[in-house]
Structure formats: structure tokens, C-alpha cells
Structure 1
Amino acid sequence: MYLWDLAMRKGCLGYIKYILKSSLMKLPVLGWGFHVLEFISVDRKWETDETILHQMLSTFKNPRDPLWLALFPEGTDFTEEKCEKSKKFAAEVGLPVLTNVLLPKTRGFCLCLETLRGSFDAVYDLTIAYKRQCPFFLDNVFGVDPSEVHIHIQRIPINNIPTSNAEAAAWLTNRFKLKDELLSDFKSQGQFPDQKPEEQLSTLQSLLNFTVIIALTTTFTYLTFSYKLCMVYVSLACLYLAYITHCKIFPMPLEILPFVKGKKDD
């Protein structure tokens, strides 16, 4: 949730795309929005996820189209129960035992690297810490925010990441070991090393954005319930979005349509 805030501060809000579990994509309205924004849904079953991931990632390969691909290699949210299972598994297979993060799942990360390596120049390793406790998804939905959110960012040039899947998987596991140490330091010191506060968002700009959103929402709501044609259009749009979300039908970017390719070749 806070990656959107970071992207907004950097002027890249329209470039961010998430890889989300499929249950979130099925949420009414929110799931439709995720679908239109070309977020990638996964079932956490590699047999089905591999094809979907490769298909969607292949549409993001245009280097002229900026991309922030948000990937959470843990595959789920952090809880004490899940952490204990992660520790037990790590001890059994000889991987680092982590106490502040879950052991990452590496196959999805390796596929992202393999598919997009020629389309971006760096991976940004983000570690997020909260002053008291990590908020739940519903806390964010209902506006219950933590008092402080700290984000540690490290830029890693793509050339510094191994090309083979086995070495890339080991590299990712080591990054999570460093994350674990970083969060341990945060717990003891209350901040990340060399931490600097982010500039406050412009109050005037925030107020203007809020006013525009309220005005558009009010106008859209009025038109929908005042004119039958608008109501029919909205109803059909909702049915269409519900259908394509349920069937996982994603829009095909213009860059890969055959007739567009033919024009480019000419």
C-alpha cells in the first residue's frame, strides 16, 4: 500500500504494477481496478502461475514504457505462525533462519529477471518497517495507518545480479538475510542506518487532488443515477469488468497487435 505513496512522491504513480494473489483480484470494484491497471494475479501454484506470469511480463518489455514492477517474493503477509513455519523449513533444508521476514520463493523472481532483464537497468530492494506493528490489509482499507512508515531503498544494477536461475535464487535468499539483519537493527535503534526524512507532500497540491477527486466522483454519481443511459452504461461496464476479472482476460497492448507490427515493419 505504501509503495503507491512512494511512487506518487517520485512522480511515477502511473508506472507501478503489482503481482498479487488472485483472491485480491476478485474483490468487487478494487479487483476491477487492479485488472484495468494490468496487475498480475497469481494462485501461488507454479503449474498455472508460470504461464500467466510469462504472458503478462512479456507485455511489459518495451524499454520506452516506464515500469515499476512490485514483487513480494515471500508470497504472503508476515505473521508469527508463518514465520515459525518458515524457520522450520529453512532449518530442514539448510537455508538461513530468518526472524523478521519470511523465506523468499525464488522461482517467480527468477522468471521476472529472465523475461525483463533487457528492459530495465536495476532492481530496487525495498525494506519497509513500522514504528509499532505492521498494519493489516483491512487497516489500510479503512484508513487506519501506522504512526510512522520507514522505507529503506537500495538500488542494485541489473548487471550485479547473476544470470543463472540457481545463482539468482541464492542471491535473492542472501538479500533477505540482509533484510532480516536490517530489521533487527531497526527494532533496536528505531530507524534505518543513515536515515533521512522524506519531504512533506505539498498541502496545496494534496488539497487540489482531493477536490478534483470529490468533484469527479460527485459528478459521476449524479450522472449515473439521473440518466437511464448512464446507468445502463455503468451496469454493462460492471458486468464486463466482473466477467474479464473472473476469466482472467487481460487487455492486449497495442505493441503486440499484429496490425500494429505490420505498420511498424513498413
Structure 2
Amino acid sequence: MVWKRSPVGGVLFVALACLSYLFGTMYIVTPWFPLMLVRPTWYRWVVDKLIAWYWIFLVALLELVYGVKVRITGDSIKPGERTLLIMNHRTRLDWMFLWMYLIRRGQLSKEKIVLKNELRKIPGAGWGLETGCFLFITRRWEEDEKIMKKILDYLASIGHKTQLLLFPEGTDLTEYTRQRSDAYAEKYNLPKYDYVLHPRTKGFVYIAEKLIKEQHLDAIHDVTVGYPDGKAQKEADLLAGRFPEEVHFHVRRHPLNTLPTTPGQLEQWCTTLWAQKELQLKEFYQKKAFPDTNVLEGGKPGDPLRELKMRVVLWLSILFFVTVILVVPYMMVTSTSFCISAAIICAFYIAQRAVFGGAEHFQVDLYNTFHKK
């Protein structure tokens, strides 16, 4: 239908996304906070599953309602595998579309993302991202190093099978950021790129080296994303209804025993990957597809039952969250106690951010105080 890719459809998508995350965080995730005090690993498992259920809802909207198609080639993430996913940052929304890959070839509930600190300020969604224990960075290395160490140590301490998403480029590809990347290339006598930005390797090297040394990494997955027919560069494009027709992912798995171990080697390894990614994307935009290696479109090839099960889960997520979006406002209008509970929950999130700096710090500080040996 035409309205889906118009401002009407765009506003509806953003409204459903924001309301479901706000109400879901307040009334589905927050009640589990006391479990954090007695069983931190159980709490992390439950909350990660609940947050992933919300992400499944967004995937369901994108695929079933707005008709966004996904094409996946390359490798999967093995069950229970601890991995660092490094991905080119073509748009500001690549992380959302990556869920279409993870729901098929990874573990959506285990994903954590390295994000800009500004994203925690998104009403409702920011609380949910904090509760998910994501890594918010400020781009001040002295501070970011402490943040990454704190969160990664916590996840390792509870035995979390983390699938950590990092964008080494640091920002999405635009004309302005390409010019900055070109200036960097000129300064250091490097080639200029058209399809990627030169990676900022400091954060990647720190994370990879730390995970390797602490034996909390099984592989690195190199993810390349491409949009053959239109893209949503930023949030305003979603509001305008400019959804991509297709999203393509090509993934290469690099096992632990093939990875370099020294900082200098890791930096060169990442730089080489990005040079290869530039050539890969040049070919992609000429042919409008990645090479047909281990192709997966919508489900496992030759496994229609798997695809059917996934579609059932997607439709159930739509039914569930649409119900939540309708019921919560009704309860707020008809029940004084429900309104009071909403005020208390909002006050809690505002207070913990003021005191601890965010729900992720609140969780980790409680764990370190009462459980860490």
C-alpha cells in the first residue's frame, strides 16, 4: 500500500517503535529489577530475552508490514558463540537492520552495541537501551576506556555469551564524513574511499585485545551491509516513510585462532579488512548483490518450516506489542494507581541516571557491590 512509504506510514512506524519501547521498558522490563539483587545472571538472561522480543517486533514491522526484504550471504554465528561484530556504517540505522540478520543467523538476545552517548537521551528508548546494558561512548578516550572496561568486565563476570556490535568508522557515511575521511587519507598518505570511511582503530584494538586476553572471545564476524535500492540514512527518513526496499548482508567469520594478538597487528588487520570492504562494496553496487555464497533469504535454504516458525513469531510480536500500546494508555486513563506507578517508574529512571549515570551503570554498580568477588 502506498501509505506505508509515505509520511503517514513513517510516523506510524516511529510512533509504534517509541511507544512499544517506552511501555515495554516501564511495565515489562522494570519489574524484573529486584532479580538483579539475588540472581544477576538470571536477571541478565530474562531482561535480554525481553528486550530481544521488542527488537523482533521492529523486525516484524519492517518485513511484514513495510515490506523490507533481507538477503544474507556468508557465515552464521554459532550457538553460544562470543563474538565481536565489526560492520561498515552506511547509515545511522544499520544497527536496526542488522537484527534481520541476527534473528536468522545469530542470537538476538545476546547482542550488545557500542553506541553514541546521545542515544541514551531518546525518550523511552534511551531507558531501554540503558537497561539492555549497552556501551555508550562519549568520544573522550579516557572516559570511554573506563566505560568499556566496566561493562565488558561485568558481562564477562556473569558469563554472558556476548555478541558485541562495533562500528569502527565511528559514524555513518555522508558527504561530510567522506570529506573528513579523505582529509585523513591525504594527511597519512592513504587511499581515498568511496564506499566506506577509514576506520578509527583505537576502540576496536582495545576491545579485541581485551576480549582475547581475558578469553572471552571465540571469533570476530566481519559484516558488510549494502542497500541496493534506496536507504534510510537517518531517523528523519523513517518519519518520511523512506524505507529501503532491500538490505543485504555479507558476513565473514574469523575464528579466534586466526586473529592477530598484538595491538599493532590488530590495527593493521582491521585496516586491511576495510580496504577489502571498499572493493567488495564497489562490486556490490555494480551488481546489486553480494556473491552467492551460502545464501539465506528469509530462512534457511530448503527449510520452509523454519521460515514458517519465524513468521509466526513475528506476527505474535506484532499482536503482543500492539496490545501493550493500546492497553497501557487505557489503564492510565482509567486507573489512578496505574498512573501513580507510571510516575514512580519515570522518577526512578530519572533519579538513577542522575545518580549513577544510566541504568547500565546502576546494574553494574549493584552487581559489583553485592556479588562480584
TM over 0.5: yes
SS in 1 for 2:223: strand
* 1:113 aligned partner: 208
Q: Distance in 2 between matches of 1:162 and 1:11?
A: 24
Structure 1 regions of 5+ residues with no counterpart? none
Q: Distance in 1 between matches of 2:107 and 2:161?
A: 8
Residues 195 and 278 in structure 2, CA contact (< 8 A), matched pair in contact too: yes
Residues 227 and 247 in structure 2, CA contact (< 8 A), matched pair in contact too: yes
- Would the alpha carbon gap of residues 39 and 140 (structure 1) be closer, same or farther in structure 2, given more than 3 Å must change? farther
Deviation, 1:74, is: 0.8
- Would the alpha carbon gap of residues 143 and 67 (structure 1) be closer, same or farther in structure 2, given more than 3 Å must change? farther
* 1:242 aligned partner: 350
Query: Which is bigger in relative contact order (C-alpha 8 A, separation at least 6)?
Result: 2
- Would the alpha carbon gap of residues 66 and 142 (structure 1) be closer, same or farther in structure 2, given more than 3 Å must change? farther
| Letter paired with 2:279 | E
1:149 aligns with 2:247: yes
Structure 2 regions of 5+ residues with no counterpart? 1-95, 300-306
- Would the alpha carbon gap of residues 245 and 158 (structure 1) be closer, same or farther in structure 2, given more than 3 Å must change? farther
* 1:129 aligned partner: 226
Q: Distance in 1 between matches of 2:260 and 2:126?
A: 35
TM-score for the superposition, normalised by structure 2: 0.65
State, as a whole percentage, how many aligned pairs show the same letter.
29
Residues 26 and 245 in structure 1, CA contact (< 8 A), matched pair in contact too: no
* 1:220 aligned partner: 328
Deviation, 1:12, is: 1.7
| Letter paired with 1:186 | F
| Letter paired with 1:221 | P
Q: Note the aligned Cα RMSD (angstroms).
A: 2.3
Residues 168 and 203 in structure 2, CA contact (< 8 A), matched pair in contact too: yes
* 1:159 aligned partner: 257
Q: Deviations over 1:136-176 (max 9, x none)?
A: 23134676420110001000112222111111111111111
Deviation, 1:46, is: 1.1
- Would the alpha carbon gap of residues 256 and 93 (structure 1) be closer, same or farther in structure 2, given more than 3 Å must change? same
Residues 205 and 267 in structure 2, CA contact (< 8 A), matched pair in contact too: yes
TM-score for the superposition, normalised by structure 1: 0.89
* 1:6 aligned partner: 101
Q: 2:362 aligns with which of 251, 258, 261?
A: 251
Q: Deviations over 1:33-61 (max 9, x none)?
A: 11111111111121221111111111121
Residue correspondences, number = 262
1:188-199 to 2 correspondence within 5 Å? Answer: 188-195=286-293, 196-199=295-298
Deviation, 1:220, is: 2.8
Deviation, 1:29, is: 0.8
Q: Deviations over 1:84-137 (max 9, x none)?
A: 220221122133422210111111111111222211200110000001344223
Question: Which protein is richer in helix relative to its size?
Answer: 2
Q: 1:182 aligns with which of 274, 280, 299?
A: 280
- Would the alpha carbon gap of residues 253 and 142 (structure 1) be closer, same or farther in structure 2, given more than 3 Å must change? farther
The range that moved more, 54-63 or 206-215, is: 54-63
